Chains A and B, each alone.
Chain A
């Protein structure tokens, strides 16, 4: 954080981004959309559920990001099929979302193979990119 602060004060400083910071008290999604939270609390002590795990895994499922101006990330998808939500506390971000064209399904096995997808920008033949700005207080 000190490093980010120092470079943010310097016009010739580096463009830095700190990802996946620990956030135990982060903004929570509505329980009407997060089935995992409901299921976790409703299945305490049940068979096939880890009996040593008494708390929802906040440390790995919630995070904070701090980015300096012009910091950017490459294209990625949520790990292990996770959906993702993000709320901007201060500043502003431009979010690029890519979706497949009509005749290609997300279930096709080869859509993320290197010849069809790269992390800098998805090839234009299959992917359509849309830019969405997120401002403080907004959730995406």
Chain B
């Protein structure tokens, strides 16, 4: 939440729920935006008549949770997702993989500063997880690509 109108969280958390848990576990923060991580169940209640704008995104810093989310969507048959958006998901993941292939394997940046900004979000603290996540993504895309020939 923007720092300009930060509410008093301590009062809210007494409303019949568990005690305070750090907000950073639930959402990803960056100096320029905040978003709900993938795979975090969330619900809303409108306190007043409300108009919201929003959207979905894939962020490299939470790509591991994105992989888990795709797996859970597959396992549970989309019972608890408000919209499917399968085509957009596959197209965007395919392009993210291509993007990193261009950047890291071919060794050239397609869009200067943008590539630098995105690669800066890679969490170097746990590189093994990131490598496993991107390997799984490539495997999923290859499987889907091969399946299109079979069908």
Contacts and interface: CB of A to CB of B under 8 A. Distances in A.
Does B associate with A?
yes
Interface of A: 8, 17, 19-20, 23, 26-43, 46-50, 53, 57, 60-99, 106-107, 109, 111-113, 117, 119, 122, 124, 127-135, 137-140
A109 to B, nearest CB: 6
Contact of A77 (B2, B13, B80, B95): B80
A6 to B, nearest CB: 13
Contacts of A46: 95, 98, 102
Given A53-B91, A129-B17, A132-B23, A80 B44 contact: no
B118 A32 contact: yes
A39 B26 contact: no
B44 A96 contact: yes
B4 interface: yes
Given A90-B51, A91-B47, A98-B41, 4 more contacts: A31-B114, A83-B57, A84-B54, A89-B53
B82 interface: yes
Contact of B59 (A50, A70, A83, A140): A83
Interface string B32-75: 11111111111111111111111111111111011111111101
Nearest to B81: A79
Contacts of B9: 132
A17 B46 contact: yes
Contacts of B114: 31, 38, 41-42
A75 B44 CA distance: 8
B20 interface: yes
Nearest to B35: A85
B7 to A, nearest CB: 5
A134 B43 CA distance: 13
